[in-house]
Structure 1
């Protein structure tokens, strides 16, 4: 008999000291509601008495399907990804699953390493916001073939995984139309093409301008990293110093670029907005968590964080519950909402 004061090392010891069979204890940890209420009460009393918590990862190795869900974002330091990851975590927890959050730090090798590590833990499924252009498509496709996978934020088409995100071809024309109706036709400050959203937003801008009978003016920026604020500030300062933008309205392909450009305009002594004394308007896309706190506050397009998060989780669990055998991988797009603030 093991003394009460001893530390319980594993589930076998816990079953022995609590007087409950090992299969029943295991059944409880897999699904508490599957155990009779009287037995469940005995197990929970023993848990409190012995202060025992099972090794979840060891348990997972003996299961065909675990209650873990992997969540991978390209840059967790970005509050945009932190916010959407938080929403996804909450949705997973509400479904009785344990989320495991990872950041690939914009590194394709790390993205693959995280996928390989998750696969060894036998997750129920994975929600992946891929790096994008530099992702190892072959490795991601191979992973999605064996583990139920849903992509969010940016899509890697043709790899056999579903996608939930924003409809760039609805949101970008909406803000282009607004800027054209309320001022000079905007030029487009394009983020470095690190993921498919960059190209889609440029294409959406060009198409919207042409439909309005306007000449598209795309300003492509150098770089292949995720330091968008730095790029927006550095290149904005350079362009302003070289004579300025081709339009007094500048639409940035994401809010982080716009935040950098706002700082460059401030440094150059340019007043941004649509009031008296303003000579430049700046708008962005995404409704970044910091967008409302810039000076002036940033006009942008809001992505539907809540719906994207919830639908990503719902779609993943539909795939999980179907044994990963879904015949189609849906692409689900949500419309953006124009958020008019002081910058434009």
Structure 2
């Protein structure tokens, strides 16, 4: 008997003769084989391909997230079609349209913009199953897998307060990013709780790049005394910040504490290594694939939100100051 025959019998696609079917099912039971329900659900369509659209493949966080998704799909015999939206909602819409023209059975997407991505996302979801991953469109009722940003920012602020910070700057890029908006709200709220004040002119809003991290450092140096800490909502920002400060003779953690977000590989290799919030990328990818299969199996099901918690990774850029005492909520 061929493996193809056994597979068809176990999937229910073709029963075969009663004797053959009985032998296959007995063997499967004895071996404890249950099959892969996610792979079966995704294969009920025709292509065996899943699309993924990210804001920028140049951002190491999205590169690593794509890698995790690809590993999960490859393990189920499925292919990944990757598209880079280049932080452009119009290009993102074009990519989505291309993917829905019979090329894929479902799509995972980190929307470029929490508002301007809505129309294209809703049109796509009416055609193929869609799951939003990491970022999301506000007010959407579909499936999404996200980080618990409020919990994540609390861990960062609590850590900085514990190592002696009472003032901080926040470097971010809120242009369209749902997660960045949540992190900004969180850093303001938890700053009040833990006694870490953030002046309005110390919220530096640009883009998620090394260059903006460096430019933000220039702005802080030009506007007066540095705060005790700089909270960056992305590791690229933190690396750019640390490097530019060092060029100007200002060093972390001696002169200022610096933290990042995401835990990309570069964060552990920079000198000093960057304290950061590690996102659970493997779990995010696994949950996104699971939700995509559930949507494929039942297109009418209510949307689900999976919110996962990250872990603080403390490194040299926020080493405890000798005179600091542990802090708690005010």
Common fold: TM-score over 0.5: yes
Of 150, 157, 171, the residue aligned with 2:152 is 171
Identify the residue that residue 308 of structure 1 maps to in structure 2: 284
Shift of the 105–204 alpha-carbon distance from structure 1 to 2, 3 Å rule, reads same
Of structures 1 and 2, the larger Rg is shown by: 1
Identify the residue that residue 263 of structure 1 maps to in structure 2: 243
Identify the residue that residue 272 of structure 1 maps to in structure 2: 252
Do 1:67 and 1:124's aligned partners in 2 also have CA atoms closer than 8 Å? yes
Shift of the 66–325 alpha-carbon distance from structure 1 to 2, 3 Å rule, reads farther
Q: Deviations over 1:37-82 (max 9, x none)?
A: xxxxxxxxxxxxxxxxxxxxxxxxxx96421100111101111111
Q: Distance in 2 between matches of 1:325 and 1:295?
A: 51
Paired residues in the alignment total: 281
Q: Distance in 2 between matches of 1:254 and 1:205?
A: 14
Q: Distance in 2 between matches of 1:221 and 1:213?
A: 20
Gaps of 5+ in 2: 17-43, 319-330
Q: Deviations over 1:244-292 (max 9, x none)?
A: 43x221111221111110111111111212xxxx111111111122110
Identify the residue that residue 314 of structure 2 maps to in structure 1: 340
SS of the residue corresponding to residue 343 of structure 1 reads helix
Aligned-pair CA distance for 1:158: 2.3
Q: Deviations over 1:136-178 (max 9, x none)?
A: 3112112112210000111113233211021011010111011
1:117-132 matches, within 5 Å, as 117-132=98-113
Q: Distance in 1 between matches of 2:140 and 2:126?
A: 9
Q: Distance in 2 between matches of 1:87 and 1:67?
A: 18
Q: Distance in 1 between matches of 2:145 and 2:101?
A: 26
Q: Distance in 2 between matches of 1:34 and 1:241?
A: 73
SS of the residue corresponding to residue 251 of structure 1 reads strand
Matched, 1:220 2:196: no
SS of the residue corresponding to residue 126 of structure 2 reads helix
Of 185, 191, 198, the residue aligned with 1:203 is 185
Matched, 1:248 2:228: yes
Q: Deviations over 1:218-243 (max 9, x none)?
A: 523354x54x2111101212321332
* Coordinate RMSD, CA, aligned: 2.3
TM-score by length of 2: 0.79
Aligned-pair CA distance for 1:197: 1.2
Q: Deviations over 1:191-238 (max 9, x none)?
A: 121311111001011111222344333523354x54x21111012123
Do 2:105 and 2:128's aligned partners in 1 also have CA atoms closer than 8 Å? yes
SS of the residue corresponding to residue 136 of structure 2 reads coil
Q: Distance in 2 between matches of 1:304 and 1:188?
A: 26
Do 2:118 and 2:137's aligned partners in 1 also have CA atoms closer than 8 Å? yes
1:1-344 matches, within 5 Å, as 65-133=46-114, 135-194=116-175, 195-218=177-200, 219-223=202-206, 225-226=207-208, 228-245=209-226, 247-273=227-253, 278-322=254-298, 324-326=299-301, 328-344=302-318
Shift of the 209–238 alpha-carbon distance from structure 1 to 2, 3 Å rule, reads closer
Gaps of 5+ in 1: 1-23, 37-62
Aligned-pair CA distance for 1:134: 6.0
Do 1:179 and 1:186's aligned partners in 2 also have CA atoms closer than 8 Å? no
Q: Distance in 2 between matches of 1:254 and 1:244?
A: 23
Shift of the 316–169 alpha-carbon distance from structure 1 to 2, 3 Å rule, reads same
